[in-house]
Amino acid sequence: MRNGPVERRIRRRSVHRSRSTAVTVSLTVLALVAAWVGTESVLRALGRGPLLADPQTVVDVALRPDATATTIAEVGAAALVVVGVVLVVLALGPGRRHRSAVEHHRGAVVVDTRIIATTAANAARTAAGVPEANASATARGRSTEVRVVPLSGVPVDEAAVREAVRDRLSSLDERFGRRVRVRVAEKGTLA
């Protein structure tokens, strides 16, 4: 692709999800926890009463936990582990959105997977000569599956439909046209 670095950058950032929301939420939670711990420490140092529990009590309970403290610790620990695993998955996962970058001569072009499916269904409908409701498609990555329900008594040429879908998707981007499956329903519908 012969786009400038700016267009390459915005296309890449459009296809992949931003983690800003996750980062903001987790950092806000971290800030709240830190603020609470800090406040308790200061209150204790000044000799005032605690908000929830002062540090000395927490240390004492941690060293000799009773039944309630154990339950609370277990539930909190389980929640922490679950949250941690979610964050690690968010950090290391590819974070791709349901979009694909498309080769184009001007500008960076990104197309939603749903729109690729819609385009395939549109081409199949035109080739098969059926109403819009009788053709549907799903796209996943580079492969597309088209389902056509023929009108009763009017046969649908599966090869012609596949060729039409392939042509249409290839004119969008040649990579999309490579894996196309066409399924023609056994039973037709009335026009």
CB of residue 128 to other proteins, shortest distance in Å? 14
Q: Which residue has the tokens 């915005």?
A: 10
Q: CA angle at residue 150 from 145 to 155, to 5 degrees?
A: 110
Identify which of residues 65 and 141 has a Cβ nearer to other proteins in the complex.
65
CB of residue 21 to other proteins, shortest distance in Å? 8
Identify which of residues 97 and 183 has a Cβ nearer to other proteins in the complex.
97
Identify which of residues 16 and 183 has a Cβ nearer to other proteins in the complex.
16
Element (H, E) at 102: strand 99-102
What sign results for the dihedral spanned by CA atoms 89, 90, 91, 93? positive
Identify which of residues 60 and 154 has a Cβ nearer to other proteins in the complex.
60
Give the type of residue at 115.
I
CB of residue 182 to other proteins, shortest distance in Å? 17
Give the type of residue at 109.
V
- Structure tokens of 174? 């040649």
Which residues does 84 contact at the CB level (< 8 Å), separation at least 6?
Answer: none
Distance separating alpha carbons of residues 158 and 137, to the nearest angstrom: 14
CB of residue 82 to other proteins, shortest distance in Å? 8
